[in-house]
Every structure is written in structure tokens, then in C-alpha cells.
Structure 1
Amino acid sequence: MILLFILNVFEIIIIMLSREKPSVFSHCYMDAVSMEISPESLSSIDDGGPIPLEDVLLAKDKPVPGKTIFLLETSCPCSDSQFDLLALTSRQACAIESAALHNPNLQVFVLLACQTSRHQSDPITDAIISYKNVKLRHVNLWRFAEGTPVEDWVKKDELFRSRYLMNNISDLLRLLSLYRFGGIYMDMDVVVLRSFEDEPLNFVGVESEKYIGNAVISLDPKGSGHKLGELFLRDFQKNYNGDIWAYNGPRNIFTVMTEVCDTDDVHLMEKDRNRCQGMKVFPSNAFYEIDGGQWTHFFEPKFANETLERLKNSYLTHIWNRISTRRSLRVDSKAAYIQLATEHCPRVLAATKDRFD
């Protein structure tokens, strides 16, 4: 009992300290200079060096409002170099390729939260940028928040007083992306199974009986979608808690949807789009047919046929990287994940040497 008491006190102290000052990793995200490519960076391109990614707001090709799919990479290696090197896993690249493959008329913007450059020749990266609609960009959080409801709050660095900084930045950036441009956000650990091009914007999906997920969110850049984007951002700021895992993600979406739909019953939200101000709530089989408790079904061949059959009516499937990340597969495996990759991200699978992870 004494040991348990000591451990509890220690945890409380850690939480209090994390609230008093920004995360030690906050400097990885802070850049005081513009990400416009310098002459020095251009010279490194000429001699075969890494290519710095352009800032999404400074680049010539910007996201097309309402016609863009966003994916985010918010981890930061925190190296001493000016730019971190892009190192997408096969899984991440599969999410990107499957989005681009099934939605050729939409732009697919992959936003990286840290100053990043890419190798001029990397098989996995080459596989995804071979799609003309894929764009790799850096995002400066502070610049990205300018002109939004959370601009002043972001400048105060309250966001960085967090035990789960990378996840909270991801939760915020997806909302900022949709507030600025509209379109569709999806996590980097999904496989897109069919097109979203004919699906009207403004939708989320039920993840469980009493839960709306934030792995897939769509908002229109104008009208009710933009108003919902503002509500999501204001709720994020008002109820932000950096000490609880996933608190600022799905909770944020569910809280706002409960207010907008005037009910906390997700099944009522599904049945009547009109009561939710035009926001469609997909049933769980649309994005989360295989739930987190069944993540092994993607990796064990004995579940392959059942898993693929269950996904026949899904728009995409979530692979649950947080709990499955240590599970690796050979590229010649009969597991459902590899079969999905064969059909929905063939170029990435072909570029992967031995292990798909």
C-alpha cells in the first residue's frame, strides 16, 4: 500500500510538472524561420542531396478547398540537422497510396509537422509520389493556426503542456486542415478500399456503440461544414487536457456532435442526417468494421477470408497501429493485410523488400 501511494504521488507530480512547462519535445515543432527553400537547400538538390519539403501555405500548389484528402505525420525525430529525413513506413505509405489510387480526382496532401526533407531516391517515397495527386508538405503549426479560432491559444503554448504531445498536435492539425480547406482527413494507419469522390462532404463515423471516431472526418469548406469546424476548434481549446490519452480527439468530435444533433445516441445520429445540421454519421462498418480488439485479424492468415468478407461494404479499414505496430508481416504472407495491400497499395508493396511494417 505504501509503495502504491508513493507511485500515485509520483505520477501526480509528473502531471503537475507537465502542466507547468512545455514538453521537452516542443522545440522540435518550433521553427522561427520560414520554410521557403533557401539557395543553400537548392544547391543540395543539385548535388543529389535531400529535397526540403515546401511549407503547405507557401508552396505554389496548395490544397484545393473541398477537393483534398489530408494525412498527417506528427512524430519528430528531433535531430540536430536543419531538416529531418522523411522515413515513411510501408503501412503509412499504403494509406497514402490507397487514398490516391481510389480518388484520382482528389488531391492527397501529406502534411509533416516537422521541418522535413526527402531523399531524391527512396523506393517507398518514389512509390507514393508516382501518383500525380500526392503532395508532400511541411506544416508550420503557428502559421497554420493564423486566422483561426485557436490562433491566440496556440501562441500561448498551452498545447505543449502535454504528456502526449505528438497525438495532441495530430488531433489539432486535422481540425485546422479541415477548417482551412475542408475536404477529408484520414489517419495514416488505414487502407482505403473504395472512392470517396461521390460521397458528399460533412461526415464522421461511429466507432463503437457509444463512440464516434476521429480517424476519418470530412467537412465542407463553407456553410455548415465550416461552422462545425469552428465548433470543433473552440471545443478543443476550451476542454483541452494534455494529460489523458486520446481525450482531445474522439471526445472532441463526440461532444460537438452531441450538441449539434441534440442527442448522445449515435444510432439516432446515424438515422437522421437532418438533425445533425447536414453532418452524416456513418455506421461502424464504414470505417471501423474490424475494431481495435480484433486487430490480429489483419495479421493472422487464419482470419484472412473472414476479414476480407467483412470489409466488402467498408470505405476503408483502420489497422490500429498504436497496438499493432510491433507486428510485422512478410510481403508474401497470406494475411488479410497483405492481401489488402496487393489490391489497394500495389506500388508500395512492390517497393517493400521483405517486411511490410
Structure 2
Amino acid sequence: MVYNIKKFLVFLIMVVLLTNFLVMLWNKFQNVQWKYKPMIIYWPQPDKNLECYIYTDNDALMSVEDVSFMPKLKSIFFHETSCRGGVDSRQACAVESAARANPDWEVYLLFNAPVSDAMLKKSCLVKLLQYSNVRLARIHAASFSKGSAVQQIVRSKLLHSRHPVTHSADIMRMLTLHRWGGVYLDLDMLVVKSFDSLPQNWIAKSSPFDLATGAMRLSKDEVGQNWTEEIIHEILSTYDNTQWSGYGARATERVLRRRCPELHNATSGDCQGLSIYSSELFYPIGFSEAHLLVRGGPLKKINVEPYTYHIWNLVTKMFTIRPNSAYVQLASKLCPLIYGAYGDAFGV
């Protein structure tokens, strides 16, 4: 009887050890699998609920308020201001393109919502973190805006906005550039080449008539600080939570008109240390031509190589991306890890 009990215990121990070994192998296999083939998530459109801004549970990211979070002067910032807690293939492609084109810059993807450990390890974020210059961090909007002119907008008025995700993005980019200085890019902006040759402070037009804030650099120097401070105050003095587009490019354009009214209709120029570039360098495919990016055919011929292409997700999301489209050509070249991971599901 005693012999049988000992035999059973030995058998039980072997089963437990074998089970643990198999679990370890499975977890290892899973980690390898996600490293090469991340989980594909079909994200819904962001809603108007920003309750996630105050959530702290299940958040795997470092906070930008952490003392060790110290962006260097050559930094590129992207903001995800919805409550998704992750990014889609288009957004990830933009981040990868910036990291590849600017290997000596730090590229920051900043989230206003918690990002879970599972999302960090099994989504396309895995691919982005294969680049040594990509950093992810969490913004806690209330503390991030503390002491700024727009503090009350962030803490209360954003919650009642008709367009909270857009308004938050407009505000967060300016607060970020005012705090650290650097380049800000929209998450539908593909980067073609390095920003090293550009000056410390610049912005671009998206058409001969319209200033845009989807790609810009405002540094920590006196020029950049003066611009960001004035734009932030312009947002405060004109904020209306019913308007969609008044607080990004429009606010910046109003400041430009006050400072350099003679440049309002100019395609390029310099305004008190801020270089203004023409649309072909950053927005070579305009809003009215956006559908051409996804509907097939070669890239539009451009006289000079641009720094970026704006994909105009607001428009192009309405169309199916064709395999021979300009967007696919750009993505396969500029964000090969993300494009390769998604394959036919890229851009959906």
C-alpha cells in the first residue's frame, strides 16, 4: 500500500513538472509568434467618451510625469488621444516610417488612455518596439496640463466637447512642444526622409492657402517657446466645444496673421524665426486628391522629394485600399515591418 502511494506521488510530481514545462514552451511559442505575427485588431471609430483619461488600472506604460522620462532635443512626437489603448496598422505605419527615416531621433508614441500589458506584447506595438529609437508613454491629461493656460479646458470642457478626440489632439501637441520642443506628426503622416536638414522651427502649408499642423517643429528655444505659448493662449481665448477645426491649424494661422499678415497668402516664407514651407514638401498629395492614394495607380509625379506624405485618413478610410495603390507602394517601402505583418489586412 505504501509503495503504491509513493508511486502515485512520483507520477503526480512528474505530471506537474511536465505540465509546467509544456506551459513554459507554449508561452515561449506564443511570444515568438506575436513577435513575428502580431494580433490584428479591427478598431472601431473613436467615440466621444474620454473617461479613460482618468483610468490608471491595467496600464503598462511609463508616465510622461516620471522623472526618468526626458526626451532629447531631437524628438518626434505622435499622439493617440482616443480611448482605444492601442493603434491600428495605418497609425503604426506612420510611427515606423518616422523611426526608419530618422534613426538618430527618438520617436515617441504618447497615449492618453491606458495601454495594457497584453496590448504591449501581442499587438502591432511589438513590431514598433523592435526599433531602438521608438518609445511609448502615457499622458495623464489633467496633470499634464496643470499650470498651463488650457488647464480648465482639458479638465472639464473637453468632456463636453462634440469633437473631444480632435480637440484633445490639438491641445496635446502644443503642450508637448511647449514642454519639450521637437517635431510633432499626425498619425496619418508617412515620413520619407530625415528632418536633419530642416531648421529648429518650421511648419508647412497643406495647400497654397491653408496652414497645417500635421507636421511641424517648434523647439525649446526662445522662438519656439514664444510660438507655442501664443498658440496655447489663442486656443484658450477662442475655444468653442462645438467647432471641429478651430484649435489646431486655425489657431496657429490666426497667430501667424497677427505676427506676419503679409505672409497670409504666401506659399512659403519666414515669420519671426518660424520657417513656413510650401505644401509639396509635406503634403504633396492634397486633400482633394486623397482618394488617389488608395484607388490604384502609380504615385503622382512630384518635382522634389517630399519629407512626408499625408494619407488623409478622414477621406481614405472611406475607400478600399487596392493592392497596386500608391499607399501600398509607400507602406511597403516606408513601414515594411508593419506592412509585412498585416498583409492584405493593412489599412483596414
Cα separation, 1, equivalents of 2:315 and 2:291: 10
Give the CA deviation at 1:265.
2.1
Question: Does the 8 Å CA contact 1:76/1:113 hold for their aligned counterparts?
Answer: yes
Q: SS state of the match for residue 313, structure 1?
A: coil
Larger radius of gyration: 2
Aligned counterparts, 1:143-292, within 5 A: 143-155=143-155, 157-263=156-262, 265-267=264-266, 270-271=268-269, 273=270, 276-292=271-287
Query: Which amino acid in the other structure matches residue 204 of structure 1?
Result: I
Name the counterpart of 2:327: 337
Question: Does the 8 Å CA contact 1:328/1:355 hold for their aligned counterparts?
Answer: no
Query: Which amino acid in the other structure matches residue 162 of structure 2?
Result: R
1:68 to 55, 66, 75: 75
1:28 to 42, 52, 63: 52
Give the CA deviation at 1:148.
2.7
Question: Does the 8 Å CA contact 1:129/1:135 hold for their aligned counterparts?
Answer: yes
Cα separation, 1, equivalents of 2:131 and 2:284: 28
TM-score, normalisation: structure 1: 0.78
CA deviation map 1:84-134 (0-9, x unaligned): 4x2x21111110000000111111110111122243533622221111110
Name the counterpart of 2:140: 140
Query: Which amino acid in the other structure matches residue 139 of structure 2?
Result: V
Q: Does 1:58 align with 2:50?
A: no
Query: Which amino acid in the other structure matches residue 324 of structure 2?
Result: K
Q: Does 1:351 align with 2:346?
A: no
Question: Does the 8 Å CA contact 2:256/2:264 hold for their aligned counterparts?
Answer: no
Give the CA deviation at 1:152.
4.9
Q: SS state of the match for residue 52, structure 1?
A: coil
| TM superposition outliers: structure 1 runs of 4+ over 4 Å | none
Query: Which amino acid in the other structure matches residue 53 of structure 1?
Result: L
Give the CA deviation at 1:294.
0.8
Question: Does the 8 Å CA contact 2:48/2:162 hold for their aligned counterparts?
Answer: no
Give the CA deviation at 1:150.
2.6
Query: Which amino acid in the other structure matches residue 55 of structure 1?
Result: S
Cα separation, 1, equivalents of 2:132 and 2:320: 29
CA deviation map 1:148-175 (0-9, x unaligned): 33335534x1233310011000000000
Q: SS state of the match for residue 217, structure 2?
A: strand
Query: Which amino acid in the other structure matches residue 281 of structure 1?
Result: I
Q: SS state of the match for residue 107, structure 2?
A: strand
Question: Does the 8 Å CA contact 2:293/2:316 hold for their aligned counterparts?
Answer: no
Give the CA deviation at 1:218.
1.0
Question: Does the 8 Å CA contact 1:194/1:315 hold for their aligned counterparts?
Answer: yes
Question: Does the 8 Å CA contact 1:68/1:183 hold for their aligned counterparts?
Answer: yes
- Summarize the Cα distance change of 1:313–1:189 in structure 2 as closer, same or farther, 3 Å threshold: same
Query: Which amino acid in the other structure matches residue 204 of structure 2?
Result: G
- Summarize the Cα distance change of 1:211–1:123 in structure 2 as closer, same or farther, 3 Å threshold: same
Name the counterpart of 1:310: 302
Question: Does the 8 Å CA contact 1:204/1:280 hold for their aligned counterparts?
Answer: yes
Cα separation, 2, equivalents of 1:221 and 1:282: 20
Question: Does the 8 Å CA contact 2:74/2:182 hold for their aligned counterparts?
Answer: yes
Give the CA deviation at 1:334.
1.7
Q: Share of identical aligned residues, percent?
A: 29
Cα separation, 2, equivalents of 1:264 and 1:168: 26
Question: Does the 8 Å CA contact 2:101/2:192 hold for their aligned counterparts?
Answer: yes
Q: SS state of the match for residue 291, structure 2?
A: helix
CA deviation map 1:191-216 (0-9, x unaligned): 10111023122111111232101111
TM-score, normalisation: structure 2: 0.80
Name the counterpart of 1:294: 289
Q: Which deviates further from its counterpart, 51-60 or 344-353?
A: 51-60
Q: SS state of the match for residue 149, structure 2?
A: coil
Cα separation, 2, equivalents of 1:219 and 1:74: 20
Name the counterpart of 2:129: 129
Question: Does the 8 Å CA contact 2:207/2:279 hold for their aligned counterparts?
Answer: yes
- Summarize the Cα distance change of 1:245–1:150 in structure 2 as closer, same or farther, 3 Å threshold: closer
Q: SS state of the match for residue 237, structure 1?
A: helix
Cα separation, 2, equivalents of 1:191 and 1:153: 30
Q: SS state of the match for residue 322, structure 1?
A: helix
Cα separation, 2, equivalents of 1:113 and 1:139: 5
Give the CA deviation at 1:235.
0.3
Query: Which amino acid in the other structure matches residue 124 of structure 1?
Result: C
